[in-house]
Structure 1
Amino acid sequence: MNSARKYIYDTKTKVIVVVVPFVAQGHLNLLLHLSRLIASYNLPVYFVGLSVDIAAVKRRIEGWAPSEYPTLRFHDVPAPPTYLSNINPTAESQSYMDFVAAAMNAAAYLRRPTGDLLKELSSECERLVVVNDALMVNTVKDAVGPVRNLEIYNFYVGSAFHDASLVWEVLRKALHIPSFLWKLVGRFVLPAGAVIPDLLPTPSTCFSPEFFKFIVDQRKSHAVCNGNIYDSCRAIEGPYLDLLGMVYKLARKGPVWGIGPFNPVVTKQKSNDDCSSSRHKCLEWLDKQPPKSVIFVSFGTQTILSDHQLYELAEGLEQSSQSFIWVVKDLTKGYKNTKIKLPAGFEERVKGRGLIIRDWVPQLEILDHISTGGFLSHCGWNSCMESMCRGVPLATWPIQYDQPRNAILITEVLKTGIPIRDWERRDEIIRSSTIRNAIRRLMASPEGEELRNKAAQVGKAVKESVMEGGISRLEMDSFIAQITR
C-alpha cells in the first residue's frame, strides 16, 4: 500500500495509533508489518516494546525499511536486567520455559510505561487508537478509565481457522449438545464453506499450563474491545472470519477484519549484478538449482528438538535424495549459540545438494525463489502465510500453540500440504524413513506436483487480495475508515 492514500489527518487533532505487541519474535514481526500498513495511510503510529526486542525486530525486517514510513515511530522501553538475563542466548542452563516466563513477565512490566504513553498521547489527538496483541490486553487495560478518547482493537496472531474451531467447540460444550447433534446444527449455522474436522488437537496438549492460564486471563479482560483484527485473508479463510464475526457480534466485541497478509507479498530479488555483500549466500546457491527442486527446512525461533530427533531429521533429509536448505541455529538445544552436532560425515555427504545454515536467513526471499518447491515447517502462522503468499506447499511438523490446528488447515482444509508429524503421536520420535517418504511425496511425486499447483492457486488469490480493489485491501480500508471516522 502506498502512502498517497485518501486518509490524511492532522496528527494533533484527529487520530494517533499505538501498537502494542506481545514480546515474542513472531508477534513482534507481525505487528510491525501491521504498523507499516497503518502508517502507509499517513497516520502516526507508535510501536511499543522493550528496546532489546525492537532492535531485534528491526534487524529482521524484509521487503521494506522503516525510513520509507516517516509517520512510524518506535517507543522503546529499557528492558529490566532480569529480562536480559533470561533471553541471553549463551546461557548454559537456558530452557524454553525461561523464554515463556520472561515474555509473560515482560508483558506485566510494560503496563506502567504503556499506560504513561497512552495518557501522554491522549491529549494530542481527538481519538487514541490502540491495536494490542490479544495477549497484551492486561498491559493496556489500566489506561481504559483515565483515557476517555481511547479505542481498543485486539489483534489475534493465529489463523482464523484456529480461533473459529475453538469457538465452535466451546459453544457446543457450553450448550451441552451431543457431538452428533452438533454436526446437524452446523449444517444450518456454519457459514458456507466452513469445514471443521471432528478430531482437533485440544488446547491442553498444545499449551503449557502456565501459558494457557496466561492466555485465559487475557481473554477474560476482552470486554473492552472495539474490534478484532486477524492476519488472515478472506480469499482463503472467509468462512472462519465470518463465523468469528457472528460470535463477536453476539458478544458485542465489535467487527472482525481479515486484513492479511501483513508481510509484503512480493519480495524484490537481488540479482547477481547487485552488490554481492548485500545478497545472502543461500540465494546464490539457490540460483544454481533447478526450478521447484529445493525444500526449505526451518522451525522458527522457539523450537527445540532433541538430539535424537535432529539425527533422524538429518538422516531423513539425506535419504530423500532431494536438495534442501536447512536452518539449524534455532534448533540448538537450550538456545545456546553453538554448532549443533549432526551425524558424523553428514555435511560432507550432502555437500552440493544440501545447504546448512546456522544463522538468520531471508525467509521471504527463499520462499519467493523459483528454485524453492516446498517448505518443511513447524506451521507457525507467520510461516504459513508467507508460504501461502508465495504458492509454496508445506510439509507440516507442528510443535505447540496454534501450530497443530494450523497444520490441519493446511493439510485437510486448504489441501496445500502433507503431514509429517501426527499430533496424536506427538511424544514419539519421527523416524528418518517417515521424514524421507514425506519429503519425496512433496518434492518428487505427482501428488507433490498437484499440491504445488493448488498452492500456486492459493498464492495467486492471496496476492490479488492485497491489490487495489482486492478483498484484503478493502478490509484494510474499512478498518482505517473505522478508526478515522
Structure 2
Amino acid sequence: MARDGSGTRMQVVVLPLPAQSHLNSLLHFSRVIAERGASVSFVATSTHIQQVRRRAEGWELHNFDISFRELPMPHLTAGDLDSQSTTMFPLQLIPLFEAVENQLGSHVDQLLQTICSENKNRVVLIYDVAMGWVQTVATKYSIPAYVFRPTGSYYNLWMKRTRDETMVVSPVNVSLKRCFPERFIKNWRRQRTQLGPAKGYIMNTFSALESEFIHQEREELVFGGKPVWTVGPLLPQAFFNYVQRLRLQTDTECMRWLDTQAPTSVLYVSFGSVSSLSATQIRELADGLERSGQPFLWVLRISDEAHLSTESQYDSACEFLQQGYERRLEGRGFIARNWAPQIDILLHKSTGGFLTHCGWNSTVESISAGVGMLAWPLHSDQFANSALITSELKAGVQVKEWQNAKENEMVSAEEVEKAVKRLMRSEEGMQVRKRVQELRNEARKAVGDGGSSWKDVDSLLHHFSQSFSE
C-alpha cells in the first residue's frame, strides 16, 4: 500500500491530538498500517514525539516505513479557566487543545505542503476528531483526509442523541455538562463543524464488541453517511501474542509484588494520567480498599500538569492517607507511586479485576486482557463507557449508581468495600469474569488474519488508493 493505483508512492500522514490516550491509539494504528505496507509520517509536537519514540522502542523500526516529524510545542497560558466548574474534567487540557489550534496551524500548513511536494501530491491524512481545524488545511492542498475517533460507538450515539435531544430514557444518568465544562463543549462543537469534507471515519473499536451500536451509528447517520472503519483494539502487537507470561515493559517492583499474589486475587486500581481524586475521596477509597480485605495494587498519582510535556512527578499523594496505612497493609496492598505498566498488570495471572475510570483505552485494554471492571467514571466519555461495560456488555459492575446531577458525588468507603466484594467474590463477579474472557477471545479474533478489524484495515487501505481516482 506504499503506492497508489497508479504505482506512485503514497504517504499516510498521521496527526494525533497531543494527549496521551490519543497519541497511543494512533501510534499503534500507524504500526498496523505500516505492517501492511503503508508509508507513514507520524506528526506531533517535539515533546510528544520524544514520548512516542520511547513507546516505539523495541519495534525494530527498520522493518516499518514510519518516520517521525516534529511540530513546535505551543506556548500555553491557563487563561480564564472556570475554577468553579463542577465537572471532574481535567481543565488543564483545555489551554493545550486551544493552543494547538491557534499556534500550530501555519506549521501544519507548511509541513503538509512539504510532504505533498516530496510525494508528488500522493498524500493521505488521518487526523484526530478533536482537531477539525486540520481539515481546512487538508482541503487547501486537496489531501484526502480521514477522521480518527478514539472513542467507542456507544458513546458516539449518546453524544448524538444528547445533542439532538432524542433520548427518552438514557442509561447514562448524567448531564452533558457533568461530563464536560462549557468551554470544552464550545470548542468541540466548533471542531465538528469543520469535519464535513472528510472521506470517512476510523474508530478504535471492533465489531464483536459494539456491533449493535456501530449499526445504529450508520442508521442514524452519526457520521453524515460517510464510511466507517472499525480497526481496534489498537494495542501493542505483543499483547496479542501473549500465552502465559509476558512482560512488555522493564521489570518493576509492583510486578515483582504481583508475582507473590494468588491467581486472579488482585484488584488493580488506576484512574489514568490526567485526573485526580480529592484528598477526601482518596481517604474514602483507601479506607474502602482496606475494609474489603482484598489484595490490591493502587496507582496513586497527581494528574499531569497543564503543559503535559513530561510524565508528571509523584507529588506526595500518600500524605492524604492516614498514618501507618501502607505498614498495616504490607503484603496485601501495594501502592505504586505515579506510574505502573498497566498492560503488564492487566495481563498478569494474579490480576482479577480493574477499578477504572472507564477511559476508552483502559476499557479496551481490560477487555482485551480478559479482566472484569469496577466502573468509577469521572468525566468525558467515561460515564457512557461505564454504562456500556456494565449494562450492555456485562463485563463489569458500577462502583455506585450515578445520579443525574451536575455536582460531583462522593463515593464512600462503605460503597467501595461493597463494590470490591461484588466484583471479586460474588457469583455476579464470576459471571463478569466469564463474559469478559469471551470478549477477550473476540478481540484477538478481530485483529487476527481475516478478523473483522483486519478486514476493515484492508478496506481502508484500498479506500486510500481509490481516493486519488475520484
Give the shorter-chain TM-score range: 0.7 to 0.9
* TM-score under structure 2 length normalisation: 0.87
Instruction: Provide, for residues 433-474 of structure 1, a one-character-per-residue CA deviation record: whole Å limited to 9, x for no partner.
Output: 100111111111221111101110111111111111111111
The offset of 1:242, in angstroms, is 1.7
Residue 165 of structure 1 is matched in structure 2 by 158
Question: Is 1:309 matched with 2:278?
Answer: no
Q: In the alignment, which residue of structure 2 is the partner of 1:445?
A: 426
Aligned residues with identical type, % of pairs? 32
In structure 1, what is the equivalent of residue 309 of structure 2?
none
Q: Give the partner amino acid of 1:111.
A: G
Partner Cα separation in structure 2 for residue 377 and residue 75 of structure 1 = 33
1:140 is displaced (CA, Å) by: 4.2
Deviations 1:154-186 (A, max 9, x none): 11121111002322444554xxxx94xxxxxxx
Give the alignment partner of residue 432 of structure 1, picking from 413, 417, 420.
413
SS at match of 1:398: coil
Deviations 1:12-51 (A, max 9, x none): 9232111111121111111111111121122111111111
Larger CA deviation: 122-131 vs 15-24 = 122-131
Q: Give yes or no for the alignment of 1:406 onto 2:389.
A: no
Q: Determine if contact 1:115/1:140 at 8 Å carries over to the other structure.
A: no
Structure 1 counterpart of 2:61, from 57, 64, 67? 67
Query: How far 1:209 sits from its partner (Å)?
Result: 0.7
Letter in 2 for 1:295: L
Change (3 A) 1:249 1:30: closer
- In the alignment, the residues of structure 2 paired with residue 457 and residue 242 of structure 1 have an alpha-carbon distance, to the nearest angstrom, of 21
Give TM-score scaled by structure 1 length: 0.85
User: What is the number of residues matched between the two proteins?
Assistant: 445
Q: Return the alpha-carbon distance in structure 2 between the equivalents of residues 380 and 227 of structure 1.
A: 24
Of residues 115, 124, 147, the one that matches 1:154 is 147
Question: How big is each residue's C-alpha offset from its partner over 1:186-245, in whole Å with a ceiling of 9 and x where there is no partner?
Answer: xxxxxxxxxx85554332220011111111000011111100011000011112112222
SS at the partner of 1:119?
A: helix
User: 1:113 offset after TM fit, Å?
Assistant: 1.3
Is 2:35–2:64's contact at 8 Å kept on the other side of the alignment?
no
Name the stretch that deviates more: 51-60 or 394-403.
Answer: 51-60
Aligned partners of 1:383, 1:73: CA distance in 2, in Å?
27
The residue type equivalent to 1:208 in the other structure is P
Task: Name stretches of at least 5 consecutive residues in structure 1 with no aligned partner.
Answer: 1-6, 86-94, 180-195
C-alpha contact (below 8 Å) 1:327/1:359 kept by paired residues? yes
Say whether 1:281 aligns with 2:253: yes
The structure-2 alpha-carbon separation of the partners of 1:389 and 1:14, relative to structure 1 and needing over 3 Å to count, comes to: same
User: Does the CA-based 8 Å contact 2:74-2:104 persist in structure 1?
Assistant: no
Letter in 2 for 1:113: H
Give the aligned partner of residue 203 of structure 2.
Answer: 230
Give the Å deviation of 1:324: 0.9
- For the residue of structure 2 that corresponds to 1:290, the secondary structure is coil
CA 1:21–1:290: 2 relative to 1, 3 Å: same
- Residue in 2 aligned with 1:186? none
Cα distance change on mapping 1:339 and 1:159 into 2, 3 Å: same
Determine if contact 1:366/1:372 at 8 Å carries over to the other structure.
yes
Q: Does the alignment pair 1:32 with 2:4?
A: no
Contact 1:48/1:114, CA 8 A, preserved across alignment: no
2:450 aligned partner, one-letter code: G
Q: Distance in 1 between matches of 2:252 and 2:56?
A: 14
Q: Deviations over 1:365-411 (max 9, x none)?
A: 11011111100000000000000101111001101110010000001
Structure 2 residue runs without a partner (length 5+):
80-88, 307-311
Q: Name the counterpart of 1:352.
A: 331
Counterpart of 2:360 in structure 1 is: 381
In structure 1, distance between residues paired with 2:342 and 2:284: 24
Amino acid corresponding to residue 159 of structure 1 in structure 2: G
> Cα–Cα, structure 1 residues 61 and 349, in superposed 2: closer, same or farther, change >3 Å?
farther
Partner of 2:107: 113
- Asked if residue 461 in structure 1 is aligned to residue 456 in structure 2, the reply is no
Counterpart CA distance in 1 for 2:222 and 2:396 is 33
Query: Which deviates further from its counterpart, 265-274 or 466-475?
Result: 265-274
Is 1:76 aligned with 2:75?
no
The range that moved more, 464-473 or 115-124, is 115-124
List per-residue Cα deviations over 1:288-327 (Å, max 9, x = no partner): 2111101110100111111000111111111111111111
Counterparts of 1:314-393 in structure 2, within 5 Å, are: 314-330=286-302, 337-340=314-317, 341=319, 342-393=321-372
- Alignment check: 8 A CA contact 1:398 1:421 kept: no
Residues 153 and 250 of structure 1, relative CA distance in 2, 3 Å threshold: closer
Q: What CA distance in whole angstroms lies between the structure 2 residues aligned with 1:337 and 1:100?
A: 23
C-alpha contact (below 8 Å) 1:441/1:447 kept by paired residues:
yes
CA distance in 1, matches of 2:108, 2:413: 48
RMSD: 2.9
The 5-angstrom pairing of residues 210-289 of structure 1 reads: 210-248=183-221, 251-252=224-225, 254-264=226-236, 266-267=238-239, 278-289=250-261
SS at 1:34's partner residue?
Answer: helix
Supply the AA of the counterpart residue of 1:112.
S
Give the number of the structure with larger relative contact order, counting CA–CA contacts within 8 Å between residues 6 or more apart: 2
1:21 and 2:16 matched = yes
Report deviation, 1:263: 0.7
Distance in 2 between residues matched to 1:15 and 1:332, nearest whole Å: 37
Q: Helix, strand or coil: the match of 2:275?
A: coil
Name the residue aligned to 2:460. 479
Structure 2 residue matching 1:38: 3-state secondary structure: helix
Residue 217 of structure 1 aligns with an amino acid whose one-letter code is R
